[in-house]
């Protein structure tokens, strides 16, 4: 299966962001992509407290969902839309949701971000995701062709127990849509992604935000596809665009046979 990861510089204008994404999806399909991962905040990347105004009820339609379903059908591929505001019981705090849309336009699965990013960094970066988001509490693995695909978002990357559960749930591929800050990304992004691939023996597809966003926010970029041995197959360090890589189920099984972690696990 050929997979693609989009790298974006999203802003706080939904229509404008979707207009940027559409030609990238078309180009990814022309490059043979059957699975496309969009970064966190692909449709809206503004103030956390402003997300509620763009939140949608899944299955009820809306500009973001309608766009995703149309694109998936038009290009006959699966989209993992890595972080959109989904309505919750708290009207002011929607879920940050990764949504899986099939080539038939069906909403096949959704993952609500479990770990919310509340930090105050020494460089002046202060983000309080919980102020505008509700946390999820369920691990999700979805089938895409022959592959089990695990769902996560951004800050989840720092919590390996989530990916351990996805591996136990049948994952061969881990998806990590993100909007990592420039400070934390330059320090930890690359090494954590390779570690998650190596310890779970899964492919990792990391679709990132890059560049400048509203309210002085700056993200790191460096979208990656990593194989189950920890080798980088594709990388885009800067700029808006996409990367593609071919995923092989045989490669996953071969790595797991060579290094049989599951048979050796004690804890």
Residue tagged active-site, from 109, 154, 166, 182: 154
Q: Other C-beta atoms within 10 Å of 233: how many?
A: 17
Cβ within 8 Å of residue 111, ≥6 positions away: 97, 98, 136, 138, 139, 140, 151, 152, 153
Residue tagged active-site, from 9, 34, 40, 129: 40
Q: State both tokens at 132.
A: 């505008």
Query: Helix H segments across the chain?
Result: 14-30, 63-75, 160-168, 182-184, 190-200, 249-258, 261-264
| Distance between CA atoms of residues 192 and 194, nearest Å | 5
Cβ within 8 Å of residue 191, ≥6 positions away: none
Cα–Cα nearest to 25, from 71, 66, 81: 71
| Distance between CA atoms of residues 128 and 228, nearest Å | 33
Has 113 been annotated as catalytic? yes
Residue tagged active-site, from 34, 48, 56, 113: 113
Positions marked catalytic: 40, 113, 154
């Amino acid at each position: 299966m050929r997979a693609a990861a989009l790298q974006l510089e999203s802003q706080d204008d939904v229509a404008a962001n979707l207009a940027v994404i559409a030609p990238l999806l078309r180009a990814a399909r022309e490059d043979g992509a059957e699975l496309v991962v969009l970064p966190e905040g692909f449709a809206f990347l503004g103030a956390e407290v402003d997300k509620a105004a763009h939140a949608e009820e899944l299955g009820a339609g809306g500009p973001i969902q309608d766009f995703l379903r149309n694109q998936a059908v038009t290009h006959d591929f699966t989209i993992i839309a890595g972080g959109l505001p989904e309505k919750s019981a708290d009207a002011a705090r929607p879920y940050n949701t990764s949504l899986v849309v099939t080539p038939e336009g069906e909403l096949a699965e959704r993952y609500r971000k479990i770990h919310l990013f509340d930090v105050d960094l020494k460089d002046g970066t202060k983000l309080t995701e919980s102020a505008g988001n509700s946390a999820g509490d369920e691990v999700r693995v979805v089938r895409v062709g022959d592959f089990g695909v695990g769902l996560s978002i951004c800050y989840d990357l720092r919590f390996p127990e989530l990916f351990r559960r996805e591996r136990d749930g049948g994952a061969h591929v881990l998806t990590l849509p993100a909007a990592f800050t420039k400070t934390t990304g330059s320090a930890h992004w690359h090494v954590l992604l390779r570690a998650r691939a190596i310890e779970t023996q899964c492919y990792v597809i990391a679709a990132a935000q890059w560049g400048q966003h509203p309210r002085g926010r700056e993200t790191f970029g460096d979208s990656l596809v990593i194989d189950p041995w920890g080798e980088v197959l594709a990388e885009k360090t800067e700029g808006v665009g996409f990367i593609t890589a071919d995923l092989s189920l045989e490669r996953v099984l071969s790595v797991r046979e060579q290094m049989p972690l599951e048979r050796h696990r004690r804890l």
